[in-house]
Structure 1
Amino acid sequence: MAKRHNEHISIQDALKEFVETNKLEKGLNKVNVADAWANLMGNGVNNYTASVNLERDTLYVQLTSSVLREELSYGKKKIINMLNEELGKEIIKKLVIR
């Protein structure tokens, strides 16, 4: 059963506590990573992106263009750093482009 607090807390703190007590962080990370990919990569890459999946600390991105896949594979470390910076924490440690 949920704890009752007599003192007033902010909505941000209440939502953070709710996410932590219900163990929803992994699911939220998956959604946030997909949104960050779409924002950072833009329409050019998103048109060729078939799926974006986060499993543990590895991001799997499936692309429909082999040329784009080759180009992005050269900058994997930079993409990981940009995504982690966008998310505000280090969630992704490895990037697999398929």
Structure 2
Amino acid sequence: MAKRHTEYRNIADALKEFVETNKLDKGLDAVNVQDAWSQMMGNGVNNYTTDIQLKGSVLYVQLSSSVLREELSYGSQKIITMLNDSLGKELIKKLVLR
């Protein structure tokens, strides 16, 4: 049975505790990375993005354009830095473009 807290709590603290208790961090991180990618890259890149997966600290991005994949590979470290800044924590260490 769940613990009952009798004192009033901030909703942000309650949600944070819920996420930690139920070990939902990895799933939320994966969703947040997908959102950050779509916001940071814009419509031009999103039109060619077919799949985004976060496995550990490696972000796998499936692209349907080989030309775009080559262009993005030149700035992969900058993309990693921008995504980590957007997420507020260093979550991504490596970017693999497929």
**Residue number in structure 1 paired with 2:78:** 78
Question: Cα offset for 1:2?
Answer: 2.0
1:1-98 aligned within 5 A: 1-98=1-98
Question: CA offsets, 1:35-80, max 9 Å, x none?
Answer: 0000000000000001000001000000000110000000011000
Deviation at 1:4, TM superposition (A): 1.6
Gaps of 5+ in 2: none
- Structure 1 residue 13: deviation in Å? 0.4
Normalising by structure 2, report the TM-score.
Answer: 0.97
C-alpha root-mean-square deviation of aligned residues, in Å? 0.6
Tell me, what secondary structure is at the counterpart of 1:80?
helix
TM-score normalized with structure 1 length: 0.97
Structure 1 segments unaligned to the other structure (5+ residues)? none
- In 2: Cα distance, 1:94 partner to 1:2 partner: 38
Instruction: Provide the rounded CA distance (Å) in 1 between the counterparts of 2:24 and 2:2.
Output: 15
Q: Take 2:94 and 2:8, find their aligned partners in 1: how far apart are those partners?
A: 41
User: What is the CA distance between 1:22 and its match in structure 2?
Assistant: 0.2
C-alpha distance in structure 1 between counterparts of 2:57 and 2:2, whole Å = 30
- Identity over aligned pairs, percent: 71
Partners of 2:11 and 2:89 in 1: how far apart? 21
Partner AA of 1:31 in structure 2 = V
SS of the residue corresponding to residue 60 of structure 1 reads strand
